[in-house]
Amino acid sequence: MDSSRPIGVFDSGIGGLTVVRALMERLPLERIVYFGDTARVPYGVKSVATIEHFTAQITEFLLQQDVKMLIVACNTMAAVAADVVRRLARDIPVLDVIEAGAHAAVAESNGRGIGVIGTPTTINSNAYARRIHALDPGVRVYSQACPLFVPLVEEGWLDHPVTRLTAQEYLKPVLAEEVGSLVLGCTHYPLLKPLLRDVVGPGVRLVDSAITTAELAAAKLLELGIASTHAGPTAYRFVVTDVPLRFQTIGERFLGRSLGTVEKVEW
């Protein structure tokens, strides 16, 4: 496989840009194509069949871009449709944020319980607990849905009193279990890391699914011998299905830099 081929990263919206940001920092020589299904977000309120259908469409689009790896940067897609991606990808390696987060959480737990926070759909799917228990059947997992975090992040209230009070309320039952690590099971949540560190205190390790996914991608590319060695300017493409009014502002907050040109595709 040609190592100069891009990595395909996709999400139901723009949250997956935190994964792209981590990939840019960890793998600066890699080309990336990001796909955000901004016209049909949120996926969390849709049926499993619909999510599987949309996921298959996006996977096929990215495979047409000649990608060398696919990264499911959406917890909802990873929870209910990761098998769809792997089936369509055939010999193309597929990583997802839940797998990466589960591995890191078990490695960081030090025999203590693991807390998981995410959207209601991700938490109700029990996907993190299943993956974690597959790696370590004896570990205790405490899950908590945090539905207000996504709108607060998109509003830009990253260190707002309302966000802090919300976090304290959501995390109270999880912290009461004296967990050793807390998995940020939504790609919006890394933007809340400074605030969440204050809330959980120094004794709890935050597991950032964006960073853990980038680390897993780096290891997999090396293992397969397809890590890019191209030293020239790196190309990044951002493809969406709609360009909402605040997309540029929110997207650049997630990415930590300018998005540049954003392509829009019509299904």
Catalytic amino acids?
Answer: 74, 186
Tokens of 195: 């605030």
Angle between helices 48-64 and 75-89 (to 10 degrees): 50
198 CA to centre of own chain? 22
- Calpha distance 15→74 (Å, rounded): 8
Classify residue 173 as exposed, middle or buried by CB count within 10 Å of its CB (0-12, 13-18, 19+).
exposed
- Residue 185's Cβ-side half-sphere holds a number of Cα atoms within 13 Å equal to 38
- Calpha distance 10→33 (Å, rounded): 8
E strands of the chain, at which residues? 7-11, 32-36, 69-72, 94-96, 114-118, 141-145, 181-185, 205-208, 236-240, 262-264
Q: Are 6 and 30 in contact (CB under 8 A)?
A: yes
Tokens of 157: 């209230």
Q: Are 63 and 171 in contact (CB under 8 A)?
A: no
Residue 238 corresponds to which amino acid? F
> What is the helix, strand, coil percentage profile of the chain, to 5?
50, 15, 35
Q: Are 12 and 36 in contact (CB under 8 A)?
A: yes
Tokens of 132: 């974690």
